[in-house]
Amino acid sequence: MTDKGPIIGIDLGTTYSLVAVWNDGVPMALPNALGEVLTPSAVSVLPDGTLLVGAPARARAITHPEQTVTSFKREMGTNTTFALGARRMSPQELSALILATLKRDAEIALGCVIEEAVVTVPAYFGDAQRQATRDAGAIAGLKVERIINEPTAAALAYGLHQRHRELKVVVLDLGGGTFDVTVLEIIEGVIEVQSSAGDTRLGGDDFDQALAELISHRIERDAGTPIADSPESRARILEAARGVKHRLSAGVTARAALPEIAMANGTFQSMELEITREDAEDAWWELIERLRVPIARALADASKTPSEIDEVLLVGGSTRMPCVSRVAAEMFSRLPLSPLPPDEAVAMGAAVQAALKSKNRAVSDLIVTDVAPFTLGIAVVTQFSGRRVTGVFAPILERGTVIPASRVKTFQTTDHNQRSIKVEIFQGERSLCKDNRLLGHIEVAALRAAPAGEIAVDVRFTYDLNGIVEVETTVLESGAKRELVLEQAPGRLTKAEIAAARKAMQRLKLHPREALPNTTALARADALYSELSGAERHFLGEGIAALRSAIEAQDEPLIKSVREELIAVTKALRAQRS
């Protein structure tokens, strides 16, 4: 492949990721090596050091939890690292593996080289998280100039076919790790975001964990002894919780069968539990209530009442839970809509944004505006009732400001003969800086010795379309300027570190793409095998052995036939347990 391909749109999700492209006037999700559009955001390591990415890694999270990493998106922009065999990897490096896999899948599907992508992030991602996402793209060999908020992307995909209507819309985006709320207006092809709010620690993963705790409590109550604290037990119970959650989205009761759970007293317990939707929602009560807070805040920031909203859109796989629809219906007095596939809407919107960036004529009449989700400001010293108060937050660029935007405020020295100023930059909504997030600082030095208040400094915040912040200070007397460099922010990689990480990724031993169908079929069957017992377990074990034998014989027609039969058996047995 030598031809340069189009800009692709990528939804880099906490649980699943996918890639889409603008094709013949519409956004289209592209299949991966398994023919599926959703690629699990999971990485696992085999005993020989080979890395698995996607579906087979996700299946190994049940059978080999200590060799598998998931939900690393939640740690983007931090110094957290994850162990994978003998190596430790940052969230950026793990995300880069997902992005590189999606890039390769797109190149195979389109038959050309992909160099650039529009990548989506939660609206409530801060500067460090957005910079980390851009770093991950660079490590994966992708130019990521444009970052777009996930609800805005979903609104783009929806507004593509509604551009000649006038609508006030709220987008509720609940994914695996984050919850975003966006209020927007569509008027004659202009999609104007009016406010964004959210919770970067509220998603489907939290609902899974709460349900796993309920299941664990039930097992321990019935067994009369605690569950053994092992990664395998925790992984199996969490997987059972995910299955129950999915089944409760369609029914009012669901079974969780857990054979041979290791207990703390050295025994093994086999349990079959029935969980009702009411049981689950009791366990989720606090999480459900947390959904209401960002919704109310987004409406308040947009100066809108629920009655002024024409449509409520649900985006993200976790919005399939009936409790989410119920919260939306209660708050807006109308049923929410899911006009697009919840899992695909964000990637489709990213593909629309890619078409806009490419100046595609089909979207030439579509205009999108966005807003800053956080307030940005600095720490100042002030006087209150004759007392000197430090660490007070002074907002400069308020949340809800339409971006791109640039705002400036002037500040004076507070001490006599002050020769330098440390300008600390914060992001947040609290009155004290210690309660907000520190982004970095600028040292303004070599000031003229003068009485307090005589030296003035302008502080300018510039917020671009990607949600990336630049800060500039100007000493008004001398014109001396300094700019904020965020390379040293937590989780931010330097150019040298990005280059080194990219070289290291090229040296990684990745599982061959052509072998993924076999590996995935075996991993999914192995995961189910650990949950079964009796005749069903024996029957599935024979299928697993048959495929392994066919692979060893390198008989391609036999491999395909046995693999398809094993996939069918796995699906049938999984369906029976539902």
Q: How far, in Å, CA of 251 to CA of 322, rounded?
A: 10
* Long-range contacts, stretch 64-68, CB < 8 angstroms, 24+ apart: 65/231, 65/232, 65/234, 65/235, 66/231, 68/42, 68/43, 68/44
**Integer angstrom CA distances of residue 226 from 222, 230, 266:** 10, 12, 10
3-state SS assignment for residue 363 = helix
Hey, CA dihedral for 338, 38, 108, 143, is it positive or negative?
positive
Identified catalytic residue from 116, 150, 205, 370 = 150
Identify residue 441 by its one-letter amino acid code.
Answer: H
Q: How far, in Å, CA of 397 to CA of 406, rounded?
A: 8
Catalytic-residue membership of 3: no
Hey, CA dihedral for 329, 332, 335, 336, is it positive or negative?
negative
φ/ψ of 497, rounded to 5, equals -65, -40
Identified catalytic residue from 11, 75, 180, 205 = 11
Catalytic-residue membership of 282: no
Q: How far, in Å, CA of 145 to CA of 157, rounded?
A: 20
Token pair for 542: 């024979």
3-state SS assignment for residue 163 = coil
Hey, CA dihedral for 569, 570, 575, 576, is it positive or negative?
positive
Hey, CA dihedral for 131, 133, 134, 139, is it positive or negative?
positive
3-state SS assignment for residue 354 = helix
Q: How far, in Å, CA of 390 to CA of 383, rounded?
A: 9
Helix (H) or strand (E) holding 143: strand 143-149
Identified catalytic residue from 73, 279, 344, 526 = 73
Catalytic-residue membership of 409: no
Catalytic-residue membership of 4: no
Identified catalytic residue from 173, 208, 239, 344 = 173
Residues with a catalytic annotation lie at 11, 73, 150, 173
